[in-house]
Amino acid sequence: MLTRIDHIGIACFDLDKTVEFYRATYGFEVFHSEVNEEQGVREAMLKINDTSDGGASYLQLLEPTREDSTVAKWLAKNGEGVHHIAFGTADVDADADAIRGKGVRVLYDEPRRGSMGSRITFLHPKDCHGVLTELVTSNPEH
């Protein structure tokens, strides 16, 4: 069962400048940052608020680290902006299977490692009214 908006992913060309914009404009601070080699991105998670299910909601800023990454290709086509929306779930495997059973394409056969040690998968945007949708089971340590 989906429990919250976990994060909204925003693709950017320059992570440091984009972080500074969100800090100066809205007062958001970096909660976590990392490089995800598998996905070819450098990212910063800006915590917006805690949620009633013990999770949180974030903005995820994504800068590609290589030209062949999905985010780099998306930026080349679309420019900076909202890349995806992610919903939190206690069980990404079960929810991905249930959604797959409703005819929505799930992009990974098995969930992968996401930000802060989470487990993630994506739903095909053509099956979600043009929105790339991520399912996230947070790592309880974060």
Residues in CB range of 83: below 8 A, 6 or more apart: 9, 10, 11, 62, 71, 74, 132
Per residue in 78-96, pLDDT tens? 999 999 999 999 999 999 9
Q: Is 83 a catalytic residue?
A: no
Which pLDDT band holds residue 142 (cuts at 50, 70, 90)?
Answer: low
Per residue in 117-129, pLDDT tens? 999 999 999 999 9
| Amino acid letter, residue 95 | D
Per residue in 16-52, pLDDT tens? 999 999 999 999 999 999 999 999 999 999 999 988 8
Given the residues 7, 39, 63, 83, the one annotated as active site: 7
Q: Is 37 a catalytic residue?
A: no
Q: Is 43 a catalytic residue?
A: yes
Given the residues 39, 60, 63, 83, the one annotated as active site: 60
For the chain, the average pLDDT equals: 95
Given the residues 39, 43, 63, 83, the one annotated as active site: 43
